[in-house]
Chains A and B, each alone.
Chain A
Amino acid sequence: MAPAIKLALNGDEGGSDGSERVRQVIFLTDGCVGNEEELFRLIRERLGGSRLFTVGIGSAPNSHFMTKAAQLGRGTFTYVGRVEQVREKMSELFAKLETPVMKGLEVRWPHGVQAESWPARIPDLYAGEPLVLTAALDKLQGDLQISGERDGQLWQATVPLARAPTGEGIAGKGIAPVWAREKVASLMDALREGTPEDEIRARVIELATAHRLVTRYTSFVAVDKTPVRPPEEEAKLAAVPTLLPEGWEYDKLFGELPQGATDSRFALFSGSLALLIAFAMLLARRGSQ
């Protein structure tokens, strides 16, 4: 993948030819992206003013890589699960690319409100996309100011924070983990950018345990209360066949032994049979006449 990304992303800031055009790069793959970190670094270094859109096709594209790459590339990730969806999803994407972008989005929190909001870098908005921000606030009051630039013109909106729904029953339980997940993601980005791991690790574990998240440092452990194997019996080791993602073929991935047969016997037999039947039918007809 690296050579393709190097070729497509040239670090150009855009607008060098005097126009206000946004350079849009589409990255299309069916899956196995391995060297994620190297590619992320490449994208970060060479993106410049371009936008990177990723399209994953098939049952097992590397969704983590594609989502993250699109985020770094200030674009979006499109997932096409089945071949029949290609037309629909791709025309959606192209419609998105052809409509104007809202750039330079900025969010201003009301005065006196402590806000910790994610993502830190707000992506550009394309047609049909919502702006999703998660923030931890100390109090809900005042107006949230959102501004952006669309077709060279200033756009602004105001959201009164006091009207945000609160409380356990409404959205409180769901939103906190979303916010925490975003924060973990940005911490992991910081790690990639060179913050020492010890510091990141401590902060991620603290967040993850508070909000029950699976991260690089935390995972769920299920404890079965009803053991099915008597404790004195020893467990057996056995190889279990690896399952492949749907639509993948074992032979293509791992190869197979040469195929050692021809159809010659079948052809000789069926040919003789057909001729024999024809001959018998001719004889029978002649006999009846």
Chain B
Amino acid sequence: MSRKREIALGVECAWTPLPEPRRSSWLWIVFITLLVALGAWELGRGAWIQAKAWLAQSLIAHAWARTLSGERQAKPWPWADTWPVARLTVPRLGIERYVLAGADGTAMAFGPGHVSGTPLPGEAGNSVIGGHRDTHLAFLAKLKPGDMLIAERADGRRVTYRVSAMEVLDRREVWVTKQEGPARLTLVTCYPFDAWRAGGSQRYVLVAFLS
């Protein structure tokens, strides 16, 4: 080591400096590799959530066709634990969404979820549907009072709702799911729409009355 340095100082001054010690370059490679791996993982995770959400809807479309032709609880894929219960369209925005049974995390990864225990669209009472603000229910931000929402039921009948009001509430305000009052559709998603992360406490609630 000391001999080498002597040479470097004494004889070969004009040359480029000696490369840095090996250890730091090794660390650097590890760091870059980890960074790339993390980036790829996160990117893949984000893309997977989106891809799953939209690919599933096209599979569910087939299951819905089977439902309309008489099959009950038609599963979109063999191991699914949910099935489509309604088709929701917004003519003004060209939106089409297949609503799944159950508003839990598993169902809502693939489509808006119908809160079990509440009536289905087109029935008396308050039909509650939840969905993700960054996938299937992102369009709620664009809906205005007076907009038309059409729900197609498993029996093929179509019912029309008119958007009446929207409100930002706390997630604990479950009173919006109560059944009294006229027939309506209550759509629930997270708020604010452009938040980065999941798990906030605010909910965007939109009510549309049967017309």
Contact = CB atoms under 8 A, between A and B. Distances in A.
Nearest to A263: B198
B159 interface: no
A255 B171 CA distance: 9
A257 B177 contact: yes
B39 A271 contact: yes
A271 B197 CA distance: 14
B174 interface: yes
Contacts of B174: 254-257
Nearest to B203: A257
B169 A263 contact: no
B26 interface: no
A153 interface: no
Interface stretch (A48-56, A77-85, A123-131, A275-283): A275-283
A256 B103 CA distance: 11
Interface in B161-198: 169, 171-174, 176-177, 188-190, 195-198
Interface string A217-229: 0000000000000
Interface in A161-214: none
Interface residues of A, number: 30
Interface stretch (B45-53, B60-68, B71-79, B82-90): B45-53
Interface string A236-261: 00000000000000110011111111
A273 interface: yes
Contact of B108 (A258, A264, A270, A285): A258
Contacts of B35: 274-275, 277-278, 281
Contact of B49 (A262, A269, A274): A262
B32 A264 contact: no
At the interface, is chain B mostly helix, strand, loop or mixed? Answer: mixed
B94 interface: no
A265 interface: yes
A257 B198 contact: no
A4 interface: no
Nearest to A273: B39
A73 B193 CA distance: 58
B39 A274 contact: yes
Contact of B205 (A257, A261, A271): A257
A261 B190 contact: yes
B49 to A, nearest CB: 4
A260 B200 CA distance: 9
A270 B40 CA distance: 10
Contacts of B47: 264, 268
B122 interface: no
B177 A263 contact: no
B55 to A, nearest CB: 14
A275 B132 CA distance: 27
B69 to A, nearest CB: 30
Interface-centre pick from A269, A278, A285 (highest chain B CB count, 10 A)? A278
B46 A266 contact: yes
B43 interface: yes
A268 B42 contact: yes
Interface stretch (B1-9, B133-141, B148-156): B133-141
A261 B134 contact: yes
A262 B131 CA distance: 10
A259 B199 contact: yes
Given A257-B188, A271-B40, A271-B44, A264 B135 contact: yes
Contacts of A266: 46, 196-198
Given A265-B46, A267-B43, A275-B36, A259 B173 contact: no
Nearest to B38: A274
A261 B171 contact: no
B121 interface: no
9 contacts: A258-B113, A259-B198, A260-B130, A267-B45, A268-B42, A268-B43, A271-B44, A274-B38, A276-B39
Given A260-B203, A264-B49, A267-B46, 6 more contacts: A256-B171, A257-B130, A258-B131, A260-B137, A261-B134, A272-B39
Interface of B: 28, 32, 35-36, 38-47, 49-50, 53, 103-105, 108-109, 113, 115, 130-135, 137, 169, 171-174, 176-177, 188-190, 195-200, 203-205
List 7 tightest A-B contacts by C-beta distance, closest first.
A258-B130, A271-B43, A271-B42, A274-B39, A267-B46, A268-B46, A260-B189
